[in-house]
Amino acid sequence: MVTADNRAARWDLAVSPSAPSIARRHLTTQLRTWQIAHVDDVETAALITNELVTNAVEHSPKGATVIGFALSFDGAALTIEVRDSSHSPPQLQPLNPLASRGRGLQMIDALTSHWHYELYDTGKTVRAVLPTSTEATPP
C-alpha cells in the first residue's frame, strides 16, 4: 500500500521463507515508481531489505504471522523499515571472517548512513537509511 503523498509505502508480509523475495519485489517496483534507478542504489537497497527481512523471519517468535515492511523516500535518502514481533534487539557482531553467520548487520552498518531499532510492547522495528545517488522528488 502506498500512502497518499507517494513518499512512503507499507506492506504486511507473511512470516515465511518467501518473505525476503516478496519484499525485494515490492522494493524494486517502488524504487521504479520513485525513479530511483541507479544500479548501485537498487542493489544496495535490495541487499539491505533481504538482510532485514531474513532476520525478521529467522527471529520471529513461534506463532508469529506478520512482518511489516515499509519504505520512505525524501528525495535524497531511502529509509527501509522492518517490523516484527520479536523483543530481541539486533546485535552487531564483531567481524569474524571465519564465521558462517552474523555478517548481516555488519553489511547494513557499512552500507547505510545509519541504522537503529526501537523496541515496543508488540516487538521491534529496525530502520536503515540509505543515501541515494538519485536527487529527486517523489511523484
Q: Which CATH class is domain 8-131?
A: alpha beta
Q: ∠ CA 22-91-54 to the nearest 5 degrees?
A: 15
Give the model's confidence band at 4: pLDDT under 50 very low, under 70 low, under 90 confident, else very high: very low
Grid cell listed for 86: 520479536
Q: Which residues contact 63 (CB under 8 A, 6 or more apart)?
A: none
Region 102-126: mean pLDDT is 91
The backbone torsions φ and ψ at residue 111, rounded to the nearest 5 degrees and listed phi first, read -95, -15
More confident residue, 46 or 138: 46
pLDDT reading at 138 higher than 50 = no
35 C-beta neighbours (distance < 10 Å), count: 13
pLDDT higher than 50, residue 124: yes
pLDDT tens across 6-27, in order?
789 999 999 999 999 999 999 9
Identify the band that residue 43 occupies on the pLDDT scale cut at 50, 70 and 90: very high
Report whether 74 contacts 131 (CB < 8 A): no
Tell me the per-residue pLDDT of 62-85, one tens digit each, with 9 for 90 and over: 888 899 999 999 888 999 999 999
Q: Quick one: pLDDT at residue 119?
A: 96
Cβ count within 10 A of residue 91: 8
Q: 100 Cβ partners below 8 Å, 6+ apart?
A: none
Q: What does pLDDT average to over the chain? A: 87
